[in-house]
Amino acid sequence: MTATRQPVARKQEIPPGTTYRVVVNGDDILLCNVGGDIYAVEDVCTHDGGPLDQGELEENRIMCPRHGATFDVRTGAALTLPAVMPVRTYAVRIEDDAVFIES
């Protein structure tokens, strides 16, 4: 994995309880603000390959809008069926207001 050299977002663009979709090195990544901490997961449901960015973020869980599978954005773990495989997570680094990720 290599760290992004340019910021992918500004933290102020991602208020607590919201998500922000970015593309880094060809990967669709969803930035999630959980209580002021930013987490990054692959923007793909492992159940059927659909995007997670239109799903609901509740605390540390993102719900797939297609079939209701939920994932822990801190760890990537699949929490509910129909998903059983975790989503990929990415390391996040914040410098001032700039958000960087490793991909």
In the block, residue with structure tokens 């998500």: 19
When the pLDDT of each residue in the chain is averaged and rounded to a whole number, the result is 94
Paired tokens of 46: 């492992």
What are the Cα distances from residue 89, in Å, to 27, 96? 11, 22
Reduced to 3 states (helix: H, G, I; strand: E, B; else coil), residue 11 is helix
pLDDT at position 102? 81
Percent with pLDDT over 90 in the chain: 90
pLDDT, greater one: 25 or 22: 22
pLDDT at 2: 58
Q: Is the pLDDT of residue 4 over 70?
A: no
Residues in CB range of 26: below 8 A, 6 or more apart: none
Whether residue 35 is predicted with pLDDT greater than 60 in this model: the reply is yes
The distance from CA 50 to its chain's CA centroid, rounded to whole angstroms, is 14
What fold is seen in the domain 9-101? Rieske Iron-sulfur Protein (2.102.10)
Percent of the chain exceeding pLDDT 70 equals 95
User: Which amino acid makes up residue 98?
Assistant: A
**pLDDT for the residue 99:** 97
* Contacts for 47 with CB less than 8 Å, ≥ 6 apart: 64, 66, 67, 69, 82, 83, 84
